[in-house]
């Protein structure tokens, strides 16, 4: 009810976006001048270059024809479902006539769940890689096709897990693994891996490298925290998405899972919502492919 009151009008939603996008005041999108006035259509007219800035331009909501209140309800719903939502669930919750719309919105919101310029993990981390996806049982002869290799990096927090980073990688070569580690982990950190050759050069990249297991099979016998995260991810995928996900869309699910996992201790649900909106105004909308049913299970 508090949510409904707070965002009862399109105007209130817009004001909230302005506040999160320009916490230090509105600036012209073209010349960054702070000298703007608001037009009757809700745009910001720059007194220097006469460019008109929209609060929606360059955000997740760019070019949307829908009422912002509906977008806000979608974000509220997405952040309030403890384990996640499916497009069908969102369609029902919002009373959308069209499955495709719900699906597209969900993809856009998932893209916003990766924080732009997010910081890297520090301290001690476990880095390993796992196969996600793969042939559905009962469909013989698919071989390794459809399996997707994912780099899983988990922060060591006492006996537990701190934050995580998940990222699809093309193969388990040193090049791919080093790129994943560099994107996710601050140099100077301790990186624990198994004995796989792909991790051998981490010291030269400025990491302290600990081989905690000599075995080196790609995608198997995972390090303990990585193993737990992979098991949780697979269970989550099965529970929320019935496990049906094509490799092409795996990125979005990895992002959503990471967003939820890294904020799993946030008790205040409003904070999750705040973060999502904050990130949504920083992430440009990207063209979406059409929804397709998948043949791949975790
Ligand atoms: Zn300007």
CA of 48 to the centre of ligand 1 (A): 5
The mean pLDDT value of the chain amounts to: 85
Task: Supply the pLDDT for residue 286.
Answer: 57
CA of 41 to the centre of ligand 1 (A): 18
Structure-model confidence comparison of residues 147 and 279, the more confident one: 279
| Mean pLDDT, residues 194-222 taken together | 89
Structure-model confidence comparison of residues 215 and 191, the more confident one: 191
CA of 188 to the centre of ligand 1 (A): 42
Dihedral in degrees, nearest 10, Cα atoms 223, 229, 230, 234: 160
pTM, 2 dp: 0.75
Task: Supply the pLDDT for residue 75.
Answer: 95
Which residues are paired to 53 by β-bridges? Answer: 44
CA of 51 to the centre of ligand 1 (A): 5
| Mean pLDDT, residues 140-155 taken together | 71
Phi and psi angles of residue 85, each rounded to the nearest 5 degrees, phi first: -135, 155
Task: Supply the pLDDT for residue 145.
Answer: 55
| Distance linking the first and last C-alpha atoms of the chain | 38
Cα–Cα distance measured from residue 130 to residue 149, given in angstroms and rounded to the nearest whole number: 6
Q: Which two tokens stand for residue 222?
A: 């995972």
pLDDT band at 295 (very low <50, low <70, confident <90, very high): very low
Of 134-138, 224-228, 252-256, give the range with the top mean pLDDT: 224-228
CA of 189 to the centre of ligand 1 (A): 43
| Mean pLDDT, residues 202-219 taken together | 88
CA of 195 to the centre of ligand 1 (A): 55
Residue range 50-83, pLDDT digits in tens: 999 999 998 999 988 889 999 999 999 998 887 7
Task: Supply the pLDDT for residue 287.
Answer: 52
Residue range 92-124, pLDDT digits in tens: 999 999 999 999 999 889 888 876 667 799 999
Please list, in sequence order, all residues whose beta carbon lies within 8 angstroms of the beta carbon of residue 58, skipping any fewer than 6 positions away: 29, 284
**Is 25 a residue whose pLDDT tops 70?**
yes
Residue range 240-263, pLDDT digits in tens: 776 667 777 788 888 888 888 888
CA of 23 to the centre of ligand 1 (A): 18
Tell me which H or E stretch contains 157: strand 147-157
Residue range 31-41, pLDDT digits in tens: 999 999 999 88
CA of 53 to the centre of ligand 1 (A): 8
**Is 292 a residue whose pLDDT tops 50?**
no
CA of 112 to the centre of ligand 1 (A): 27
CA of 243 to the centre of ligand 1 (A): 48
Task: Supply the pLDDT for residue 296.
Answer: 38
Cα–Cα distance measured from residue 62 to residue 158, given in angstroms and rounded to the nearest whole number: 43
CB 26 within 8 Å of CB 34: yes
Residue with tokens 């049913």, as numbered in its chain: 293
Q: Which two tokens stand for residue 187?
A: 């140099």
Q: For 69-83, 127-141, 201-215, 274-288, which range has the lowest pLDDT when averaged over its residues?
A: 127-141
Structure-model confidence comparison of residues 274 and 289, the more confident one: 274
pLDDT band at 294 (very low <50, low <70, confident <90, very high): very low
Task: Supply the pLDDT for residue 285.
Answer: 63
Q: 3-state secondary structure string, 162-203?
A: EEEEEEECCCCCHHHHHHHHHHHECCCCEEEEECCHHHCCHH
Please list, in sequence order, all residues whose beta carbon lies within 8 angstroms of the beta carbon of residue 217, skipping any fewer than 6 positions away: 196
Distances (CA, A) of 232 to 50, 152, 284, 295: 52, 12, 30, 21
Q: What percent of the chain has pLDDT over 90?
A: 55
Task: Supply the pLDDT for residue 190.
Answer: 97
CA of 26 to the centre of ligand 1 (A): 11
CA of 29 to the centre of ligand 1 (A): 7
pLDDT band at 265 (very low <50, low <70, confident <90, very high): confident
């Amino acid at each position: 009810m508090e949510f409904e009151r707070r965002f009862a009008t399109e105007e209130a939603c817009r004001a909230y976006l302005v506040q999160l996008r320009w916490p230090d005041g509105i600036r012209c999108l073209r010349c960054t001048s702070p000298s703007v006035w608001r037009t009757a259509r809700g745009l910001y007219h720059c007194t220097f270059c006469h460019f008109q800035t929209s609060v929606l331009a360059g955000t997740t909501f760019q070019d949307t024809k829908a009422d912002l209140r509906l977008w806000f309800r979608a974000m509220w719903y997405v952040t309030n479902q403890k384990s996640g939502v499916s497009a069908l669930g969102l369609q029902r919750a919002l009373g959308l006539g069209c499955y495709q719309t719900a699906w597209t919105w969900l993809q856009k919101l998932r893209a916003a769940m990766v924080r732009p310029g997010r910081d890297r993990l520090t301290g001690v981390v476990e880095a390993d890689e796992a196969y996600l996806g793969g042939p559905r049982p009962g469909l013989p002869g698919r071989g390794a096709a459809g399996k997707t290799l994912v780099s899983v990096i988990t922060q060591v927090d006492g006996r537990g897990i701190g934050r995580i980073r998940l990222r699809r990688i093309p193969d388990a070569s040193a090049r791919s693994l080093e790129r994943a580690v560099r994107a996710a982990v601050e140099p100077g950190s301790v990186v624990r891996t198994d004995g796989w050759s792909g991790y051998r050069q981490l010291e030269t990249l400025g990491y302290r490298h600990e081989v905690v297991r000599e075995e080196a099979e790609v995608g198997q016998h995972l390090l303990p925290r990585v193993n737990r995260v992979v098991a949780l991810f697979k269970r989550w995928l099965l529970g929320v998405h019935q496990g049906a996900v094509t490799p092409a869309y795996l990125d979005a699910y990895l992002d959503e899972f990471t967003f939820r996992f890294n904020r799993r201790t946030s008790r205040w649900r409003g904070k999750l919502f705040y973060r999502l909106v904050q990130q949504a105004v920083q992430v440009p909308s990207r063209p979406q492919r059409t929804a397709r049913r998948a043949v791949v299970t975790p």
